[in-house]
Structure 1
Amino acid sequence: MAYVQKLKYLCSKKASPHKHKRLRKMGIQNSDKIPMTKDLLMKYTLLALCAIAFLSYFAWGLPSLVISLISVGVAVGCDFLLSMVMGSKGPKNTMSAAVFGLIVAMSYSLGLPIAMATETIPTLAGGYEQYMYPAIISAFGLIVFKKLQGLAGRKYVNPAAIAKLLILGLLFMPAISSLLPADHVAVIDLQNPLTESAFEGFPSYYPMETTIFGSTLLTSYAIDPANPYTFGSFENPLPDVLYNMLVVKYHGWIGGFSSIIVMAIGVLLFAVCRRYIKWRITLSYLVATVLFAGVMGFIYGGDPILRIIFHLFIGSSIFLAFFMATDPATTPITHTGQLIFGIGLGVLTILIQVYTGFLGGSILALVIMNLTSPVLDNVGKLRQQRKKIEAKLPDAKHDATFMTYDCMRCGACMNVCVNALSPILIKQAHDKQDANKLMKLNAEYCAGCGNCNFVCPARIDLESYTLGYNMSTKDGKEIEQKFLNGTEDENIGVYTKIFSAKGSVDGQDGGVVTDLLLSGMQNDIFDSAIVVKRTDGYWAEAVVAENIDDVKEAKGTKYIRVNMMAKLKDLIAKGKRKIAIVGTACQVRAIRRLQKILLKKYANLELTIIGLFCYEIFDYQKLKEETKRLLDVDLDLAEKTQIQKGQYIVQIDGKEHSVSVKELNAAVEKRCIHCPDFTAIYSDISVGSVGSPDGYSTVIVRSDVGQKLLQKLDLAKGEVDKEEVTKLSILKKKRAQKNMAA
């Protein structure tokens, strides 16, 4: 059942009381509430931009509002028309289009007051151009860089930024000499702010050398160039610079008219949508800009404070930092990647402004850094860890509709994953059938908690794409038809034989699994096996067994979950094509899903999957704590552990300590309560102690591969109590249904 269907069911009257308890655990306090959606996020952003657009009227007058209306109208209109033409490939997204249109308007440059007479584009220059070019940028950006670029699977550059650069720069510069505002190119020599020659053509100023930079800023960016000083003095223009750069300036982007207002509204938006907006980019950009501007001040001299203020607050910088640099679709998804992105953006901005004289350097720097995002996505990915984290889910937000959108790359799913996975990257790898990427991302290690689905504002069913997640009926039938054969039993799965057996090796519950592995290696059914071995106390990891000694060293059951994919990836990379894997039901599901993908690339790949009966497994850290509390033993010193007749048994120094499995509920892995599979129904052969007498194992043969593995193996066989196996299978299935795993 898809996540949206689950949530609808939870909110329905049909849901039983325990379902509403789960609803409250998910953060939903009332049955008519669901978490943040993309539309809601766009509404908050649109409100923030509208506030800036409205307030800009007091600096720029009515034309700034007209430009905003034109840009939004063109963007929304193009979005509507394209949705009719493109259909499902380009669905209508009015709210997102409106946000895009406003960003285009807010990033429209108005030029220098002292250059108004010669500017052709700025609003205050008059003429139809002041409205034509924002409309062109809005249409071009939405069609080419928002809609068509989206067909590639992701957006590589910020649509508003690249559209502005192309329309105002590259496309028309050969034909029209001044489509970029004249002040955007080589007005101030930032490499030499201490000499009068650096400002040739400007009014002559003779203040102290360290104030020339500030005087020039005032001359260029004050409302009245003839009398720029209001609060400061001729010798100390810093107060006036602060007023112009922070409170109100009459130059640059409409959205940058007041740095204080933009920052206040931006911070408020970040606070409301903190889980979904990439504030780390803004923070690292601002810090990097301050530090690198200080370095430039040290290199070239001048007042360092003035230089820092200039690079932080000139025209576009602040608006870009809060409303463009954080665009989720074109920026890195990992926290580390976001920090690197912000630092790179700050450094590039200053380099462009200092060494090219292009004072709109931040927008060019943004486009350049956007192109690094696919690489930065792979930097600092969250990794699986021993100690699980408890993710705190956000409060739900009211929204009456359920719609699914393309991923907006906010990264919220990664922040709440209890196993530190990357759910959206796993889904994208699954969509591309990229087996290597799935293995690299530990796609089978999902805990089944549903946190990723809950926080996703695009309402994407991320949980179902993790390899270990429960099979749909359709997927399960495909696996059975492709890999299994025999009689179908609704409780224990497809099988040809079921019997009780005892192996020749002294192992757990008859040592059958060890015998199967040894027989497979000796008869060349497989040349390596992925098994689980204790490596540090009771902590266990997946290891590769390539000989008899390796297999024997790994014997015995470990009741904690391990990552198998990394070892499978390594073996395939080494050219191994005959591989055995021993795992629990969730691991078997993951391997089968992956096997379907791998066979398309490696047709000669032969996997032998031995499944283990499993009602539940434990979190290593919590199991240690619970056994210490209940049995007063150190689990890391255990020689052997076993679950038998409802008891968890720990053997230390030859002495057995036991506790009811029910008393260990606090240590059970969360995903186990969602899993309906007790007997690993998609394996080639399943093995477990339930249904057999002491010292024996129940064996269920499910495929020709499983039958082949048994052919040359001499096992002592006995009768099995199938009803006992069926009983536990039904209990686990009912528990899963109760906890909405199916």
Structure 2
Amino acid sequence: MAKVAMTKDLLMQYTLVALFFIAFLSYNIFGLASLLICLISVGVAIGCDFLLSMVMGSKGPRNTMSAAVFGLIVALSYSLGTPPGMMYTELIPTLAGGLEQYLYPALISAVGLIVFKKLQGLAGRKFVNPAAAAKLLILGLLFMPVMSAFYESSALLPQDHDTLLPLQNPMITDEGWRAIYAWKYGGEPYPSMDTVPFAANLLACYSNNASVGYYVTTGEIADPLPAVLDVMLVGKYHGWIGGYSSIIVMLVGLALFAVCRRYIKWRITLAYLVATAVFSLVMAGIYGGDPLLRTLFHLFMGSSIFMAFFMATDPATTPLTHLGQIIFGVGLALLTMIIQVYMGFLGGSILALVIMNLTCPILDNIGKMRPRKRDEQEILSGQHFATTVYDCIRCGACMNICVNGLSPVLIKQARAKKDANKLMSFHAEYCAGCGNCNVVCPAGIYLESETLGYNLSEEEAKEMEQQFLTGTADEDVGVYTDIFSAKSSIDGQDGGVATSLLVSGMEKGLFDAAIVVQRMDGYLADAVVAENVDEVLKAKGTKYVRVSMMAKLQDLLKKGKRKIALVGTACQIRAARRLQQVLLSKYPDLELTLIGLFCYEIFDYKKLKEETERLLGVNLDDAEKTQITKGKYIVTVNGKDYTAKVKELSEAVEKRCLGCPDFTAMYADISLGSVGSADGYSTVIVRSDVGKELVAKLDLTKGKVDEDKVKQLSVQKKDRAIQNLAESGYW
């Protein structure tokens, strides 16, 4: 059975079903009022979304499913219920029982969708949770002056939160309890008491029977723990609609996490719950009281448990990295605890959430995965199914699935902002082309195309040619002014021309540093900086594996280097040119010389090593030299050549190469390769004034090029790319 690709719409559908289930069961506690509030909030959200889509057009497209989810979250994070121990219930507008309890959710839903979803989204991303921010704005700030004229208690900070549940002193005095029961029972006699257990306070607040707390106080209920567990876990009659039953919230939340595990940031929930439990024990140690009861309160009060599963995990307003998510969850727990204990704001989790949301730009860069050599991580199969493309929802799925540990979503953001420094630090060209990020992206974004080495669009290609290249444009080999065969006096692969160009350029001051690829451990290679001739000579020879090079360019720029050469394959040259276009605005004196290598395909190191062992019976790490020429793969070990057909290495080919149409590194200043030249010679294609100057200063033995062979392989690679991209659904 084919696996259904996750999309944003499908993700919203799953979330909507989960929230609907919680909302429907809330009828058992809060009655018809909770269902009406849900209908009103959802209706207002969908209506505002529809109207704004007509006004904003493509800048604010209609998204009914997302609006419905938002409306339900607004409703389920709204407080209902009349706790029997609450002294000021009739003075709190949101619980007054009249039209107010329907008016405020409607206002929160409208303001949240218009201001904090649509308008905030125009900034390119959402910075604060829309439902939490709108609730704080409406109930805490905008209407507080109005409410204070009519009510003695704020909707967010009821007066009895400090008297009924004083978290800095869990034991209420006899005088405080006398006031509560005198109010509740019209001044009737009650037993004398010195203190009231915290369990009685919880039961007075959350149960539907005031006498339960009373009996705990008098000692008629000797063990209140079962009653407290029942209230805190099974059914609370006061607080957030969505948090009425902690068990229901946890079961539904965990089911949603299981279904959408790649897209739900469950680490935030786990970190929040664990940290809340720890901080509860710390507070119990500081202020006294039963540590278990305090932990139950902080963990399972409605605003805490619902927020942990359905608001704190909002992908758009939370960190992308795993470590960032854990820090976010711990910080959220700490702030919530401080706000509850020292402000008496028991629903303080929403204020804490908004504060932590604002830290996300910092947390996104903490724990960012580092690029790595490809391991055995799963390579997904499937096409790019999305018919509708949405804005990124910041779920982080692309980061988690990348076989090379890249951050596709951060690369996309950096490209949109033309932030060259971030693109280099993110190793934005180091893409294997596996397509995992495309397959898992629920927003339908073709993330692979955001990497720097990806194929150029027609517009990009023309712009790049006009900006950097000179000469005649050829459909198959690109723009060039000269093409010839050559060898140098340096002993190197295919005539040592690449090495000679670097040595000559350094000696004549055309560049003062070069980024080259050098074997490090066995056949493993990495990009290195060569700042003198000896370092250039150490990097002689072709390495048929992919490495990350752009971070080295960043290092050189930080050191003040401005004349830099780079030797790379077609995808690396494309990446360098894209960066050069951005960098020139910051470094107008930057002189970047790009030497491109003919490349039909490169290989994954581990797989190439396995295939070499299988086909040739030798260890690739022992190779003195490797060469691909005339359809043959040649490995030299202990002076002896071992040969296999290149096509037998198909299992080791990097997938990115299958969609690359560029054989001759069309956007380099000079392109080099053995195809079209005699043994011991390189084909040299000069493409720019920079390349012309570099070649002019070099003493070369020239020969004739068979241009037809070069064009033949160029066409062959281009046709293969078109076919593979079409079959993958990306063409």
TM-score by structure 1 length? 0.91
Deviation at 1:225, TM superposition (A): 0.8
Quick one: which of 237, 246, 255 aligns to 2:242?
255
1:100-111 to 2 correspondences below 5 Å: 100-110=70-80
Residues 583/233 of structure 1: CA separation in 2 closer, same or farther (3 Å cut): farther
- The answer to whether the aligner puts 1:162 opposite 2:133 as a matched pair is yes
* Aligned twin of 1:241: 228
* Aligned twin of 2:184: none
Deviation at 1:122, TM superposition (A): 6.0
SS at 1:672 equivalent: helix
Greater shift in the superposed pair: 727-736 or 244-253: 727-736
* Aligned twin of 1:342: 329
Residues 280/448 of structure 1: CA separation in 2 closer, same or farther (3 Å cut): same
Residues 372/93 of structure 1: CA separation in 2 closer, same or farther (3 Å cut): same
Q: Is the 8 Å Cα contact of residues 562 and 589 (structure 2) preserved in structure 1?
A: yes
- The answer to whether the aligner puts 1:353 opposite 2:340 as a matched pair is yes
* Aligned twin of 2:698: 713
1:233-632 to 2 correspondences below 5 Å: 234-391=221-378, 393=380, 402-632=387-617
- The answer to whether the aligner puts 1:125 opposite 2:96 as a matched pair is yes
Deviation at 1:252, TM superposition (A): 0.3
In structure 1, what residue type is equivalent to 2:586? K
Greater shift in the superposed pair: 539-548 or 109-118: 109-118
* Aligned twin of 2:185: none
Q: Is the 8 Å Cα contact of residues 588 and 680 (structure 1) preserved in structure 2?
A: yes
Quick one: which of 22, 35, 52 aligns to 2:5?
35
**d(CA) in 2 for partners of 1:117, 1:359:** 15
Deviation at 1:385, TM superposition (A): 0.8
SS at 1:533 equivalent: strand
* Aligned twin of 1:179: 154
Deviation at 1:243, TM superposition (A): 0.3
**d(CA) in 2 for partners of 1:396, 1:270:** 24
1:594-673 to 2 correspondences below 5 Å: 594-673=579-658
Q: Is the 8 Å Cα contact of residues 189 and 199 (structure 1) preserved in structure 2?
A: no
1:228-258 Cα shifts (integer Å, max 9, x gaps): 5899962210000000001111010111111
In structure 2, what residue type is equivalent to 1:291? V
* Aligned twin of 1:45: 15
Q: Is the 8 Å Cα contact of residues 82 and 89 (structure 2) preserved in structure 1?
A: no
**d(CA) in 1 for partners of 2:325, 2:534:** 47
1:405-455 Cα shifts (integer Å, max 9, x gaps): 111111111122221111111111111111111111111111222221222
Deviation at 1:208, TM superposition (A): 11
Greater shift in the superposed pair: 112-121 or 51-60: 112-121
* Aligned twin of 1:214: 199
Gapped regions of structure 1 (runs ≥ 5): 1-27
1:38-61 Cα shifts (integer Å, max 9, x gaps): 122112211211111111111111
In structure 2, what residue type is equivalent to 1:47? V
1:68-114 Cα shifts (integer Å, max 9, x gaps): 11111111122222222222222222211111111111111125523
**d(CA) in 1 for partners of 2:237, 2:161:** 15
Gapped regions of structure 2 (runs ≥ 5): 182-189
**d(CA) in 2 for partners of 1:393, 1:271:** 19
* Aligned twin of 2:169: 192
SS at 1:119 equivalent: helix
Q: Is the 8 Å Cα contact of residues 188 and 199 (structure 1) preserved in structure 2?
A: no
Deviation at 1:700, TM superposition (A): 0.9
In structure 2, what residue type is equivalent to 1:715? L
Quick one: which of 60, 63, 71 aligns to 1:90?
60
Residues 298/199 of structure 1: CA separation in 2 closer, same or farther (3 Å cut): farther
**d(CA) in 1 for partners of 2:506, 2:490:** 15
* Aligned twin of 2:187: none
Residues 396/648 of structure 1: CA separation in 2 closer, same or farther (3 Å cut): closer
**d(CA) in 2 for partners of 1:68, 1:185:** 30
SS at 2:144 equivalent: coil
**d(CA) in 2 for partners of 1:152, 1:329:** 12
**RMSD of equivalent CA atoms:** 2.4
TM-score by structure 2 length? 0.92
1:12-31 to 2 correspondences below 5 Å: 29=2
**d(CA) in 2 for partners of 1:463, 1:354:** 48
Deviation at 1:300, TM superposition (A): 2.8
In structure 2, what residue type is equivalent to 1:533? Q
Q: Is the 8 Å Cα contact of residues 34 and 396 (structure 1) preserved in structure 2?
A: no
Deviation at 1:184, TM superposition (A): 4.4
**d(CA) in 1 for partners of 2:647, 2:379:** 26
Deviation at 1:361, TM superposition (A): 2.1
Deviation at 1:297, TM superposition (A): 2.2
1:256-279 Cα shifts (integer Å, max 9, x gaps): 111111111111222222211111
SS at 1:739 equivalent: helix
SS at 1:521 equivalent: helix
Greater shift in the superposed pair: 515-524 or 661-670: 661-670
Aligned residues: 709
Residues 193/153 of structure 1: CA separation in 2 closer, same or farther (3 Å cut): same
Greater shift in the superposed pair: 186-195 or 125-134: 186-195
Q: Is the 8 Å Cα contact of residues 94 and 104 (structure 2) preserved in structure 1?
A: no
SS at 2:351 equivalent: helix
In structure 1, what residue type is equivalent to 2:455? N
- The answer to whether the aligner puts 1:143 opposite 2:130 as a matched pair is no
Deviation at 1:663, TM superposition (A): 2.3
